[in-house]
Chain A
Amino acid sequence: MPDNIIPMLGVVTAIRIDTPDIKTFRVEAVDGGKCFEHMPGQCAMISVPGVGEAMFSITSSPTVKDYQEFSVKKCGCVTEWLHHMDVGQQITIRGPYGRPFPVDTELKGKDLLFIAGGVGLAPLHSVINYVLDNRTDYGAVDIVYGSRSKEDLLDLPEIQSVWADPASKMNVHLTIDREQDGWDGHVGFVPNFVKELDYKPDRTVLVCGPPIMIKFVLEALTEMGFVKTQVYTTMELRMKCGVGKCGRCNIGDKYVCKDGPVFRFDELDELPAEY
């Protein structure tokens, strides 16, 4: 059966409400197990027939054996529909698409710094858990994560109970944009927080979040002595086919769906700033 256009069936086996506008869906194949294998940073096309098809990054780590998870922010008709569905609903899914984070090559053995804002944690979530499951392959791991408010922090229970657990040997730094009752953590924007944390420029950085945050994080990192070859991010553009044929998601001569979504910043520098 042709597999790059024709989707396969998935069934939603669990739904978690993360924030007021983000839900995480657990998807399994109809007969149980994962629909396909993937690597951290890769995406999948999920569709609701009659409503539409949209690309989502796979939030769960490849090391999870039985299912895949997707954290979805409500912002269009497909996501709207997904937010309204119940457990047991079938959806269609195809993938995995794109180039993953180089977890088994360039990132291996490195000291890592994850910087995320809002729903931007979703693509990094997969990498972080992958790193956690292969903890000895990597050096120091720091996670800087910020959101508008406490309620908008994705995966907070997991962050606090797993990532922040000393056994994980990861440093987690959370921040929210504005003061809030019941929050005694850091307050301030992510880029400034990164500067305050004053990392040495020997880390490999994975950053994901709203474009404006990425811009300022990049400026902050440059100020701190980081160079672009150290910094990875993921891109998001309108996609349809997922295989570099429909002609929609290119940045210059690269297709986000095929050559991305993970890019190193020095690679982006050689491409038109059309994103």
Chain B
Amino acid sequence: MMKQLPLDRLPELFRKISEKKTVIAPIQSAGQVNFGVWTEDSILRLDALKTVKSAKGAFFPQVEDIVRFRMEGKKIDIHPADVLTEEFVIFGVRGCDARSFELLDRVFLSDPVDPFYAARRQHGTVVTLACNEPEETCFCTNFGIDAADPAGDVTCWIAGDVIYFRANTEKGIAFTADLESAENESPVEELKKNITEILKKLPFGALNLTGFDGDHLMERFNDPRWSELARGCLGCGTCTFVCPTCQCYDVRDFDTGSDIQRYRCWDSCMFSDFTLMAHGTNRPTQTERFRQRFMHKLVYFPSNNEGLYSCVGCGRCLEKCPQSIHIINVIKALGVNKDA
């Protein structure tokens, strides 16, 4: 059974939730929309289809302290950072980003479980929002994601000036408990049908992913076209850092003067120092680094995860790559059908 709320009363809802929980939502700041903590002064932008950064930061923040060391003489004191204990709601997650959480779970919740991530997952409620107007860069359809009916603890639809809620999980039921029931669910059905029609028109909506799997690992890896594809790549981390599924991280120490703060932060396999050791690196040129990123998404990850791709088709890399090199290029260039 769905719940509903007039759109203009959403801030009221947020206000109420934020008495007990942190609300994270797409918020505009300095001209850009990103997920951020909602406050009364925030500019909420539920109409923005894609935040610049994906929603993954809510569970896997770009920087997080993990442990602090205090050194004295030959002695070391170890003070692990606290894991999250407060509840939060992340609101307005799109179907693609919602899928990315499942993919991150595969990494961080597999044995041994990452305590920081696990705590965030445990305390976070994911409220997703259907995409009324998908864009040409969207290709979530390739990965079995329904932008018209996204997953999450709660699914929302904005139809006209009403926002509809459907709880999908226990957390979701708790979230929607106080909302009034929807009188009529047909606007949602109408909207879904509409969206489904638009999704059919996506230019990259139906990619051929044949041959991207563990069984063809060596073939894909040894494809001679990688160097051609990677030639324009700047080796920046834009694609990685806007990507909802990229999960590589680095662990670093910062000397604060009084102690050593160890933190982890997002890293990118596109960076030249990613695998650099004292005597060199096993990925010396951008070609190898570029290949690594896409092999991971399209071959290695599925090989280890029952064929599940580490891409959700959000299309952020299509929009943000400074030189317009992205996963579509790779899929189209290396796809098996081309060889056939």
Contacts and interface: CB of A to CB of B under 8 A. Distances in A.
Contacts, number: 117
A26 to B, nearest CB: 15
A172 to B, nearest CB: 29
A195 B108 CA distance: 47
B26 interface: no
Interface stretch (A4-12, A16-24, A151-159): A4-12
A5 B114 contact: yes
Contacts of B253: 49-52
Interface residues of B, number: 52
B71 interface: yes
Contacts of A2: 80, 83, 115-116
Contacts of B275: 237-238, 248-249
A15 to B, nearest CB: 13
B249 A245 contact: yes
Contact of A49 (B250, B262, B300): B262
A78 to B, nearest CB: 9
Contacts of A52: 253
B5 interface: no
A214 to B, nearest CB: 15
A248 B248 contact: yes
A15 B83 CA distance: 37
Interface stretch (A127-135, A220-228, A267-275): A267-275
Interface stretch (A83-91, A137-145, A182-190): A83-91
Interface residues of A, number: 40
Contacts of A5: 66-67, 114-116, 251, 264
A75 B282 contact: no
Interface in B240-280: 247-251, 253, 255, 260, 262, 264, 267, 269, 274-279
A92 B71 CA distance: 11
A207 B112 CA distance: 30
- Minimum-distance CB pairs A-B, first 10: A247-B248, A2-B115, A49-B69, A76-B278, A253-B300, A49-B260, A4-B112, A253-B303, A50-B260, A272-B221
Interface of A: 1-9, 49-53, 75-76, 86, 88-92, 237-238, 240-241, 243, 245-250, 252-253, 270-272, 274-275
